[in-house]
Amino acid sequence: MPLYAIPFPDINPVLISVGPLAIRWYALAYIAGILIGWWYLRRVVVADRLWGSLPRPTPLELDDFVVWATLGIILGGRLGYVIFYNPAHYLADPYDIPQLWNGGMSFHGGLVGSIVAMWWFTRGRAFSLMTLFDLFSAAAPIGLLFGRLANFIKPELWGRPTDVAWAMVFPGAGPLPRHPSQLYEAGLEGIVLFAVLAVMIWNRDALKRPGTIAGTFGIGYGLARIFVEFFREPDAQLGYLLGFVTMGQILSLPLVIAGAGLLIWSARRRTAIA
């Protein structure tokens, strides 16, 4: 191991094991992201000053939606990974598809699954689909933070070889020190993006302009993911597409465009709902 590389911390991926039952950090990270995001959104929907006269979900409706969102995230995330990142493997061995404990989730697939869940959930309700988009976007960085930490602990989705002072040698990635790109994504997609959206929600009345939070999230996540992909090792089964770009970058570009479109749409509707 090179002298300048930081050894990967010896973290057992299994927190508790009782016979055949194993509780893994990977699963706990997703559970924590969903539960903390749920708690945060309950605080947001009961704060009357953030909404003006705009209809929004009640805390009880939000409780119901968490179940729908969880199914959308898990099913969409897994199917997205199967379709976008490793279709040949899962076509050859479809019994591996439900084995979530082995890793393999796609944010973009989870987003699509969540959008379907939101569309279905809002039918016949007083609040709009766009309001639910904004709420989901406000909490999504919390889930992203915990998800990327899970990627780091597993470890998976490590970075490209480098000689930076904080490079790490990851188990299973060979002897070369690499960027801890999972932590880059946790910082940008999780902490920084959450802080930006929180300021907009609590100090800038952004929820009174439907589409503003969702649009900002799309741009923020898309740009952060495109940037970090320059430091992240491409999936081995895909490599570089078009000679120099990754699947993550290709899938993130439409998010940036859609986010910009939402911001323009929101700005043209009206300034705010008093």
DSSP codes, 224-244: HHHHHTTTBPPPTTT--BTTT
Query: Are 52 and 177 spatial neighbours (Cβ–Cβ below 8 Å)?
Result: no
178 labelled ligand-binding: no
Q: Which of 166, 167, 165 is nearest to 178 (CA)?
A: 167
Q: Do the bridges between strand 168-169 and strand 6-7 make them parallel or antiparallel, or are there none, so unpaired?
A: parallel
Within 10 angstroms of residue 75's Cβ, the number of other Cβ atoms is 17
Question: Any idea what DSSP says for residue 101?
Answer: G
The 10 Å CB-count burial string (b at 16+, else e) for 107-134 is bbbbbbbbbebbeebbeeeebeebbbbb
Binding residues: 148
